[in-house]
Amino acid sequence: MTKSTAAPATRAETRAELSRVPYDLLVIGGGILGTSVTWMAAQAGLRVAMVDAGDFAGATSSASSKLVHGGLRYLQTGNVKLVAENHRERRALAGDIAPHLVKPLTFVVPIYRGGPHGAAKLGAGVFLYSALSVFGDGVGKVITPQQAQARVPALKTDGLRAAAVYGDHQMNDSRVAVMTVRAAVDAGATVLNHAEVVGLRKTGATVTGAELRDRLDGGEFGVSARLVLNATGPWVDHLRRMEDPAAEPSIRLSKGAHVVLRRHEPWKAALTIPIDKYRVSFAIPWEDHLLLGTTDEPYEGDPADVRPTEADVTQILDEAGHAVLDSQLRREDLTYSFAGLRVLPGGPGRVAAAKRETVLTRGTGGMLSVAGGKWTTYRHIGRVVLDTLAHLPGRPLGDDLADILPAVPLPGLASPDAVAMRLWTERDPGARMDPLVARHLASHYGSIAFDLARLIRDDPALGERIHPGGPDIWAQVVYARDREWAVTVDDVVRRRTTLTVRGLDTPDVRERVAGVLTG
Ligand SMILES: Cc1cc2nc3c(=O)[nH]c(=O)nc-3n(C[C@H](O)[C@H](O)[C@H](O)COP(=O)(O)OP(=O)(O)OC[C@H]3O[C@@H](n4cnc5c(N)ncnc54)[C@H](O)[C@@H]3O)c2cc1C
């Protein structure tokens, strides 16, 4: 199939560059935190490299609840300031940074007879929640059971006394992550996925780089840097022990699983289902499906082995069943399930918290480690970490970092409605793009969808759907290979497209995708 133009450096070129150039900063871990720091550091004029053992956002950062939110539950613990900060960042992402990728969503909290919270308390809670974002998404309020059911037809109404409503946002986390990697590269960063750090380079007692193994061909190489940041999420202590075998644990892990089900009716809103006084479970319309979860269980195994179990799936379906009709919770509608690990502060060695739940430590060899926090506030965390790196004793990064512009958008910034309309009307009637495909491309690529349209113009076969059950098309696979660092079938089917979450990554689809990747 056709190659898209202006392809970035090949893996071999990137490896050669990584081995040759001494960097200011090496970021280990290409989840959203590592990517954010890389993006910020490149914007500040640093020479920065980022590597990931697997795919970018292949771990926790593609296993989230996909919410860009203020965090209603923080109100329960009185953390009003944190909610206001999260809201600010949420609204910046949805307004200035990535309106093409981050979408508004109404949330309904059903209030049942005998449930953990009463209508007065929840009503006051959602009002305060909306006030903390200056009512930018409307006023949080209490509505009737009928009004709630009009928004969510699959809502159980037996014993339903009222519901509370509020506004937040949602995204496709893997796509926002890959767009952020691209923003970092556009700003001058060098990145490589499927490249695992297997050891640290030291000059004297100071960490000055890393030894890597390319997981695709087993090739070994090294990267030198003035400063190394460990942003490996659940693996953060593993890397800290590479620096200092005696390093004490700095975090604890908690597993959260989700399931994805085929949806039978349109949902105009998501459900926030109170399970007990403290926990909620979500039922969220996402990618034309229903996303349910999550669980919260201590986890002590190898982070690479985290998976949803049968018991997790049962728990998630049971908890959704508090508020969702059984007809929408059939196991045969399950298309995908996944699990990720929350990183929680724990153990000694915690030197600073950039934000609640974000752990920042500095080891004996001078390596900085960051873990935890929220997807929603990733730009904020990136800026705080960069600021910390810039002001370390001895100033290893020097004194001349440029100021970062306050609101640099993600690539493809555009109104998704305008992009979808153009994609649809651009061609003659009869040869027009399916409106569903146009909308899908516009809301996952923004104006970059026009690059995909150009690929289709050159090779109309690339406009065909990969599977008739979903809107993903072959041009996305070519683009993922040539412009989005996709090298394995899972990179494409799970994270650059929505094939896996829709349950459409059949053996035939996987084989044909593999053919494009090697072609
Ligand atoms: C169940 C769940 C639901 C969540 N829901 C939300 C939500 O709805 N909204 C929200 O705002 N936040 C949410 N979060 C939080 C958010 O997802 C995380 O804070 C965020 O993804 C953490 O990103 P990270 O980059 O620190 O970690 P990760 O994404 O795990 O990245 C770490 C990376 O390091 C790499 N790595 C590990 N070892 C090495 C090595 N030796 N060499 C090279 N690379 C290595 C890994 O491959 C991995 O890609 C949720 C978290 C969980 C667990």
Residue-wise DSSP of 353-400 = -SSTTEEEEE-TTS-EEEEE--STTHHHHHHHHHHHHHTSTT-TT-S-
Ligand 1 centroid – CA 451 distance (Å):
29
Rg (CA), the chain: 23
259 phi and psi angles, rounded to 5 deg: -125, 155
Is the whole-model pTM more than 0.75? yes
Residue nearest to atom 4 of ligand 1 (CA): 64
From 28, 50, 56, 60, give the residue whose CB has the most ligand 1 atoms within 8 Å, as the site to mutate.
60
- Expressed in angstroms and rounded, the spacing between residue 374 Cα and the centre of ligand 1 is 9
The protein residue with its alpha carbon nearest to ligand 1, atom 31, reads 31
Pocket test for ligand 1, best of 26, 28, 61, 306 (most atoms within 8 A of CB): 61
Residue 255 CA to ligand 1 centre (angstroms): 12
CA quadruple 393, 399, 403, 408: dihedral positive or negative?
Answer: negative
Distance from Cα 460 to the centre of ligand 1, integer Å: 37
Separation of alpha carbons 249 and 236, rounded Å: 9
User: Cα separation of 125 and 416, whole Å?
Assistant: 32
For ligand 1, atom 41: residue with the closest CA: 197
Q: If you measure from the C-alpha of residue 61 to the centroid of ligand 1, how many angstroms do you get, rounded to a whole number?
A: 4
DSSP code string of 456-512: HHH-GGGGSBSSTTSS-BHHHHHHHHHHS---SHHIIIIIISSTTTTT---HHHHHH
Q: Dihedral angle at the C-alpha atoms of 218, 222, 227, 229, nearest 10 degrees? A: 0
194, 235, 368, 370: residue to mutate for ligand 1 pocket, most atoms within 8 A of CB:
235
Cβ neighbors of 415 (< 8 A, separation 6 or more) are 99, 100
Question: Cα separations (Å) of 294 from 66, 164, 377, 378, 402?
Answer: 11, 20, 20, 21, 41
Q: In this predicted structure, what is the pLDDT of residue 485?
A: 98
Ligand 1: which atom is nearest the Cα of residue 342? 53
Q: Which residues line ligand 1 (CB under 6 A)?
A: 28-34, 51-54, 57-61, 63-67, 196-197, 231-235, 256, 294, 340-342, 371, 373-376
Name residues whose C-beta falls within 8 Å of residue 481's C-beta, 6 or more positions apart in sequence: 487, 492, 516, 517
233 Cα: distance to centroid of ligand 1 (angstroms):
5
Q: Which residues contact 447 (CB under 8 A, 6 or more apart)?
A: 100, 412, 413, 414, 419
Number of residues that make up the chain? 519
- DSSP at 425: H
**How close is the Cα of 333 to the center of ligand 1, in Å?**
27
396's CB contacts (< 8 A; 6+ apart) are: 226, 227, 366
Q: What are phi and psi of 482, to 5 degrees?
A: -90, -30
Distance from Cα 32 to the centre of ligand 1, integer Å? 7
d(CA 493, CA 477): 9
Q: Ligand 1: which atom is nearest the Cα of residue 293?
A: 1
d(CA 101, CA 128): 27
pLDDT at 7: 60
Termini Cα distance of the chain: 7
Q: 399 CB contacts (<8 Å, ≥6 apart)?
A: none
Q: Could you identify the atom of ligand 1 that is nearest to the CA of residue 51?
A: 43
Q: Would you give the distance in Å from CA 364 to the centre of its chain?
A: 31
pLDDT tens, the chain, 519 aa long: 444 445 678 999 999 999 998 999 999 999 999 999 999 999 999 999 999 999 999 999 999 999 999 999 888 888 899 999 999 999 999 999 999 999 999 999 999 999 999 999 999 999 999 999 999 999 999 999 999 999 999 999 999 999 999 999 999 999 999 999 999 999 999 999 999 999 999 999 999 999 999 999 999 999 999 999 999 999 999 999 999 999 999 999 999 999 999 999 999 999 999 999 889 999 999 999 999 999 999 999 999 999 999 999 999 999 999 999 999 999 999 999 999 999 988 754 333 333 357 889 999 999 999 999 999 999 999 999 999 999 998 888 988 899 999 999 999 999 999 999 999 888 776 668 999 999 999 999 999 999 999 999 999 999 999 999 999 999 999 999 999 999 999 999 999 999 999 999 999 999 999 999 997
**Per-residue CA distances from 433 to 5, 136, 245, 417, 424 (Å):** 22, 34, 57, 15, 5
Residue 142, classed as helix, strand or coil, is strand
pLDDT given for residue 463 in this prediction: 96
CA-CA-CA-CA torsion for 270, 273, 279, 285, nearest 10 degrees? -20
Contact present, 412 and 401 (Cβ < 8 Å): no
pLDDT at 6: 53
Q: Tell how far the Cα of 362 is from the centroid of ligand 1, in angstroms.
A: 20
Q: Within 10 A of 360 (CB to CB), how many other CB atoms are there?
A: 21
Q: Using alpha carbons, list the distances in angstroms from residue 411 to 38, 143, 456.
A: 15, 39, 20
Give Cβ neighbours of residue 8 (< 8 Å, ≥ 6 apart).
185, 483, 485
Inter-helix orientation angle 435-445/416-425, to 10° = 140
Q: Which atom of ligand 1 is nearest to the CA of 54?
A: 47
- Residue ID of nearest Cα to ligand 1 atom 30: 60
CA–centroid distance, residue 246 to ligand 1 (Å): 25
The CA 121 to ligand 1 mean position distance, Å, reads 33
